[in-house]
Structure 1
Amino acid sequence: MSIVIRDVREHELDSILALNNAAGPSILPLDASRLKRFFDAAEYFRVAERDGNLTGFLIGFGSNFGHDSSNFRWFREHHEAFFYIDRIVVASRRRGGGVGRAFYADVQSYAEVRYPLLACEVFIEHDNDPARLFHGSFGFHEVGQHVMPETGVRASMLTKELCSYTWVRDHYGDDLPDMPWLRRARQAAAPAQRSTGT
């Protein structure tokens, strides 16, 4: 069956919380209140369905967001503008089945008309070779390392240049055509909300 990527719905947050906290040491745990703040304010918060079942999610923020993650702050200190993938989680039974690739194709199509860089991190200490290989196959490369003060975990900081961004900015500036695929993934992510932080 095909993979469907769509915006998250509020009634799915309990399932997403369970999926996140079952993902293992490569994903930081969440509590319900923080996940609800992400739901209210994230610029991009989408889920994957396969065979009618929730199989994963991806949460992302633009560089102007007031995110309290030390990894996000690291990117803010090193790059002027970027789109940050805070987390991607795929259910263990679905890993290797194309869900992650579908998410990255979707988030790139969203980000590349708005930001010059796609940014994320992969934890180094947790034998994350599959994750590093996955990101490398998408054109990400390491631009530094960062030890998260809140956990002591070392992360490989990755970016990917979004080559379409310059052409889009040169031709459209901030006035993108009003087309469904160009609209914000989350209409609720108004600038005032994004500036409040999480």
Structure 2
Amino acid sequence: MSIVIRDVREHELDSVLALNNNAGLAILPLDSARLQRFYRQAEYFRVAERDGNLAGFLVGFGADSDHDSSNFRWFRERYPNFFYIDRIVVASRRRGGGVGRAFYADVQSYAELRYPQLACEVFLDHGADPALLFHGSFGFKEVGQSQMPDAGVRASMLMKELCSYSWVKQTYGDTLPDQPWTRSRLQVETAGERSTGTLA
């Protein structure tokens, strides 16, 4: 069955929280207050549906956001303009079924319209080889390592150049064509509803 990537809905946050906190040591735990903050502030917060069920989620922030992650700060101290993947979680029963790849195709499609680089990290202390291989196959390269002071976890800091960004910037400047798939979830339509993202 097909995978649908779309913006999260507020009533789904409890399910997102459960997915996050059942994901194991590769993902930092969340509480409901922090998840609500993500919902209010994250530039990209999408879920995957497969067979009508929630199969995962991905949260991301632009370099100018007021995000308080130590890994986000690590990138911001070194790079002026990037899009940061804070976390991706895929339900255990859906791992290996293409959900992660669908998310990364979607988030890259979103980010390359706005940012020259895509950033994320992989925790190194709990069997990182599958995650490093996954990111390497998408063109990410390690640009450093960081010891997270708030979690005591060592992370490989990864960055990917987004080759379409320069063309988009030269062609459209700061004004993208108004299409559903080009809108940020934080853009409010005149009707007062959040726009829905689609896999471009």
Aligned to 2:61: 61
- Structure 1 residue ranges, 4+ long, deviating more than 2 angstroms after superposition: 185-188
Deviation per residue, 1:165-186 (Å, 9 max, x gap): 0111111110111122111134
The answer to whether structure 1 residue 24 and structure 2 residue 24 are counterparts is yes
- Larger RCO: Structure 1 or Structure 2 (Cα < 8 Å, ≥ 6 residues apart)? 1
Deviation per residue, 1:20-75 (Å, 9 max, x gap): 00000000000000000100110000000000000100000000001111000000
Q: Secondary structure at the match of 2:77?
A: helix
User: Which stretch shifts more, 177-186 or 125-134?
Assistant: 177-186
Structure 1: 5+ residue stretches without partners: 189-198
Tell me the distance in 2 between the aligned counterparts of 1:86 and 1:167: 26
Tell me the distance in 2 between the aligned counterparts of 1:66 and 1:13: 21
TM-score (structure 2 length as normaliser): 0.92
Aligned residues: 188
Matches within 5 A, 1:1-150: 1-150=1-150
Tell me the distance in 1 between the aligned counterparts of 2:168 and 2:185: 18
Tell me the distance in 1 between the aligned counterparts of 2:133 and 2:159: 14
Tell me the distance in 2 between the aligned counterparts of 1:178 and 1:99: 27
Aligned to 2:197: none
Q: Secondary structure at the match of 2:134?
A: helix
Quick one: percent identity of the two aligned structures? 77
Tell me the distance in 2 between the aligned counterparts of 1:184 and 1:43: 6
Deviation of the 1:151 alpha carbon: 1.3
Instruction: Tell me the C-alpha RMSD between the 2 structures.
Output: 0.8
Aligned to 2:165: 165
Tell me the distance in 1 between the aligned counterparts of 2:72 and 2:23: 21
Tell me the distance in 1 between the aligned counterparts of 2:61 and 2:51: 28
Structure 2: 5+ residue stretches without partners: 189-200
TM-score (structure 1 length as normaliser): 0.93
AA partner of residue 108 (structure 1): Q
Tell me the distance in 1 between the aligned counterparts of 2:115 and 2:161: 9
Whether the 8 Å CA contact 1:146–1:154 is kept in 2: the answer is yes
Q: Secondary structure at the match of 1:105?
A: helix
Aligned to 2:182: 182
